[in-house]
Chain A
Amino acid sequence: MTDLFSKFDPLIDERQALLDRGVRDPFSIVMEKVISPTEAIIQGKHTILLGTYNYMGMTFDRDVIEAGKSALDNFGAGTTGSRVLNGTYQGHKECEQALIDFYGMEHAIVFSTGYQANLGMISTLAGKGEYIILDADSHASIYDGCALGNAEVVRFRHNNVEDLDKRLGRLPKEPGKLVVLEGVYSMLGDIAPLKEMVAVAKKHGCMVLVDEAHGMGFFGENGRGVFEEAGVADDVDFVVGTFSKSVGTVGGFCVSNHPKFEVLRLVCRPYVFTASLPPSVVATAAASIRKLMHSGEKRAHLWKNSKRLHQGLRDLGFQLGTETAQSAIIAVMLPDMDATVHMWQALLEQGLYVNMARPPATPAGTFLLRCSLCAEHTDAQVGEILEMFAIAGRATGCIS
């Protein structure tokens, strides 16, 4: 009998080889205590968090927590049901209304995670004989949405407007087409040239879906995302997002002005065949989204943090994923697995948590340490972060 796990042996061996070198496992960190959006205790050590996507620091917001507690008391711990059966409570409708108000759109559907929002939207919108056109560096949830559906899938080179144009020009005119873009690409923290890309998609008669997972809260006049800042809101058909980053809880959504949007509640399997979010979660999400509408000061501080960290790391001699700070993600590029793991561990030992990323999650076989800033990081913390990078970088030989 063949052991079904045999195919994972190379991965198991690679991981063991890493641990044998005395390195902590970057993929099994435990937060023993969480002190604030920017600090936790990891293995007894007070640690600054710089890898949590908690961009707007809403996880400990007083109003958000109160809203959650009250929903927990009044509506219970869970819904035990699908949105289309017994799982839609008043709180789910209020959460969808908060999204409608935040985005200034007609319709909103809340899913149990952002991953499921992409799975559901992408697999349902484009059917057999139709086309999905996606960026090569798309998030796993977008690729998995393609795999779940029956459409033909075409990739274009990352953020390459010309390549997108060329590919769309080669497709047959008749079938329906969905172009899937992301506002911010989460590995390098680079943003998409949405103005040009959406124009090209429209020129070829495609519908456009933009995933704003890493853009919600601090791009554009109302914090709606990169598509708002790019001035293409009228030409984007669907915006997908998550509650697990700026909103500070868990869940996913899609908003749209399409007149037939509501039919998705009946045909979208990742919406129908799973339990809805707990009442406390939708209550915290709604409270947080409403607060994000008026967080100009937090946004400004987040941008200030991101620009300062980017400049500071550059000045230290690190190679970064983008020329300038384009988002709240700063990617520190490292030459190989060894350097990356040692650097990651040297930071953690000093009390700084960042994400480690490596192929195949990263583009073009790159190794990187991904930093995501929070509006609640103080100026003093950003200073400490830079100091820790300087010490770790010199100790590991990553900088001179």
Chain B
Amino acid sequence: MSTYDDTFGRIAAQIEPFNKKKASLRPGTSFAGDLEWDSLTVMDFVAAIEDEFDIIITMNMQAEIETIGQLVDAVMKLQAE
């Protein structure tokens, strides 16, 4: 099991190629508001995260995740399962 910081770092690395606005990445950074991602970018990004951690983030779960911190929590929970 990975630690919060480790997971955060791996997620941040996956965000970089999509971070066109060069927004700073903190747990409170929101995907729609701060990164201004559209639904297509979200889809590509989710696929990248799923591959990185070998997990599935269902659309139901995606609907609940608005910030990087929430994504870190979700990924850690999925890995624990």
Q: Which residues of A contact B (CB under 8 A)?
A: 131, 136, 146, 152-155, 157, 163, 167, 170-171, 360, 364-365
Residues of A within 8 A of B32 (CB): none
Given the complex of chains A and B, what is the CA–CA distance between A171 and B59 in angstroms? 14
Other A-B contacts than A155-B59, A365-B40, 5 sampled, CB-CB below 8 A, are: A153-B58, A153-B59, A170-B55, A360-B39, A364-B40
B43, B55, B56, B60 — most chain A CB neighbours (10 Å): B56
Query: B54: CB under 8 A from chain A?
Result: yes
Contact status B43-A155, CB under 8 Å: yes
Query: What B residues does A136 contact at CB under 8 A?
Result: 43
CA distance A171 to B56 in the complex (A): 7
User: Does B13 belong to the interface (CB within 8 Å)?
Assistant: no
Which residues of A are found within 8 Å of B50, using beta-carbon distances? 167, 170
Task: Indicate whether B47 reaches chain A with its CB closer than 8 angstroms.
Answer: yes
Residues from chain A with a CB closer than 8 A to the CB of B54 are 170
Which A residue's beta carbon lies closest to that of B38? A365
Report the minimal beta-carbon distance from B49 to chain A, rounded to whole angstroms.
12
Asked if B59 contacts A167 (CB within 8 A), the reply is no
Least distance between A135 CB and chain B CB atoms (Å): 12
B36 CB to nearest chain A CB (Å):
14
Cβ contacts B48-68/A at 8 Å (1 or 0 each): 001000111011100000000
A-B contact pairs, 6 of them (CB 8 A): A131-B58, A153-B59, A154-B59, A155-B43, A170-B56, A365-B40
> Which chain B residue lies CB-closest to A156?
B47
Q: Are B60 and A153 closer than 8 Å at their CB atoms? A: yes
For residue A302, give the distance in angstroms from its CB to the closest CB of chain B: 33
Complex: A368 Cα to B40 Cα, angstroms? 17
Residue of A nearest to B47 (CB): A157
